[in-house]
Structure 1
Amino acid sequence: MGGAVAREAEADSHEVVARFHSDRPFLEASRSAVGEADMAVDFSLPELAVPHLRRCCEWQVPVVMGTTGWYDALDDVRTLVQEHDASVLYAPNFSIGVAVLSRALGHVTTLMDALDDYDAFVQELHHTKKADSPSGTAQMLAEQVVDGLSRKDHVEPETQHQRIDPSAVHVSSTRAGTAFGEHTVAFDSPFDRVALRHRAKNRRGFAAGVLRAAEWLRGRRGLFTLDDVLDDWLNA
């Protein structure tokens, strides 16, 4: 993803002033290494996300965080942003299509909450090099279902070897081939099935979403998500 963002940025007349990776760790770099960068974009590893965020906040470099798996430390990051009057925008998925899917799901769960015959579940498919399972996007969508349906109270991301708790939203994950990412939220009844699905065709869609988020974040202070970007677009 880092490479995809860099290519998309350069194609859109942005300048990439520094690149960091396993052979050139960001945490070993000096402040001068990022020069006069307007924005940092992070697609690294869950265990590096918070240290990277801390460094960017201390250096006053706004950051778009695409790494997932660190959200249990969200309160600490919120405090960090406040202490440094910093700029951070994070999302489990920067595809604009996924953001639209998430908004649509909010409306669908309002309707489905009154229809007890429909049981909800989430399925996701990613390539074999995907680091986390389930994906942050699948977890986000499942949590939305829990928030929207009074009959559901928790997400169950593990394989079930017995009858599943009816109050759980089951998330199933598949890792195969080179799939860029596919997420389905479905509501199954004895009579039919209603499904919302997003299928990424390539990484360019994610990279384009990152750049739009970065352009939006410039000049703003605080901790934001892609929802804040969408709200601003819709209000405009």
Structure 2
Amino acid sequence: MKIALLGYGKMGKAIEEIAVNRGHEIVLRVSEDIEAYNFDGLEIDAAIDFSIPKAAYKNITTAFKHKVPVVCGTTGWLDDYDKATELCKKEDTAFIYASNFSLGVNVFFELNKKLAHMMKGLDDYAVEIEEIHHTEKLDAPSGTAISLAQQIIAENPNKKGWQLDHADKDEVPVYAKRITDVPGTHTVSYKSKIDTIEIMHMANSRQGFALGAVIAAEWIKDKKGIFTMRDVLSSLF
């Protein structure tokens, strides 16, 4: 298939390597303002956006206006998510947004939901989330950590929201750390005076995120609508 890369930093290059190894062709690489690039005359089966928060919405909607389905892994732009999905439907194309495309992380999401459901009645345990990323990551907490917090809140009626670093009793605290060259580590902990229960996902490289994004692009080709990685995973497992 023919793929456009919207964002050509470290993740874009990792995606390119995997896509080419899987037999795909990169027909467009956008590394600056997307309006400086010409979509006309290009055959594009899917676009993959791993750009920066301030560029993501323009990248996504420009692709939609050219009837190109989009896979987006950029976080920090979700105030405009509803407008983007409305345009996707209007243009009759397709969209997948995920805070994390790693197949392992998406399995981790399912474990997190199950554990949150099991723990919701155990009031002696206090839940918290810690995420560690590389120093170049622009948003904090990570989109993955926010997704984990939202899953916990959905399972626990006593939790009303999440907060970064400092949280009230009815909120989930999320702690964000930035360390050089850490691809991403997420830990969910339930702590009591007696013991601690933890689940953790540690990325060893960017390759897992890149592979998941390419698999999502392969899946979304020729589809119409708004989808999630759960839709993609349902075809794999």
1:216 aligned residue: 219
Higher share of residues assigned strand: 2
Contact 2:131–2:184 (Cα < 8 Å) also in 1: yes
From 24, 30, 33, the counterpart of 2:38: 30
For normalisation by structure 1, the TM-score amounts to 0.92
Q: CA separation in 1, counterparts of 2:39 and 2:80? A: 25
Q: CA separation in 2, counterparts of 1:216 and 1:205? A: 17
Q: How many correspondences in the alignment?
A: 227
Q: CA separation in 2, counterparts of 1:17 and 1:78? A: 24
Superposition deviation, residue 47 in structure 1: 1.5
Runs of 4+ in 1 over 6 A off after TM superposition: none
2:175 aligned residue: 172
Structure 2 residue 124 is matched with structure 1 residue 117 = yes
3-state SS in 1 of match to 2:30: coil
1:80 aligned residue: 87
Superposition deviation, residue 82 in structure 1: 1.2
2:71 aligned residue: 64
3-state SS in 1 of match to 2:236: helix
State the Cα RMSD in Å. 1.3
Superposition deviation, residue 216 in structure 1: 0.9
3-state SS in 1 of match to 2:28: coil
Q: CA separation in 1, counterparts of 2:83 and 2:136? A: 29
Structure 2 residue 234 is matched with structure 1 residue 228 = no
Q: CA separation in 1, counterparts of 2:116 and 2:94? A: 32
Moved more, 222-231 or 50-59: 222-231
1:163-216 deviations in Å (ceiling 9; x for gaps): x41001000000011100000011111111111100000011111101111111
1:102-142 deviations in Å (ceiling 9; x for gaps): 01111111110121111111000011111111111111111
- The letter of the residue matching 1:176 is I
Q: CA separation in 2, counterparts of 1:207 and 1:45? A: 16
2:52 aligned residue: 45
1:201 aligned residue: 204
Structure 2 residue 12 is matched with structure 1 residue 2 = yes
For normalisation by structure 2, the TM-score amounts to 0.92
Q: CA separation in 2, counterparts of 1:106 and 1:74? A: 23
Equivalent runs, 1:71-110 vs 2, <5 Å: 71-110=78-117
1:71-114 deviations in Å (ceiling 9; x for gaps): 12222112111111111111011101110010111111111012
Contact 2:76–2:143 (Cα < 8 Å) also in 1: yes
Q: CA separation in 2, counterparts of 1:18 and 1:57? A: 15
3-state SS in 2 of match to 1:18: strand
The percentage of aligned residue pairs carrying the same residue is 37
2:151 aligned residue: 144
Q: CA separation in 2, counterparts of 1:39 and 1:75? A: 20
- The letter of the residue matching 1:133 is A
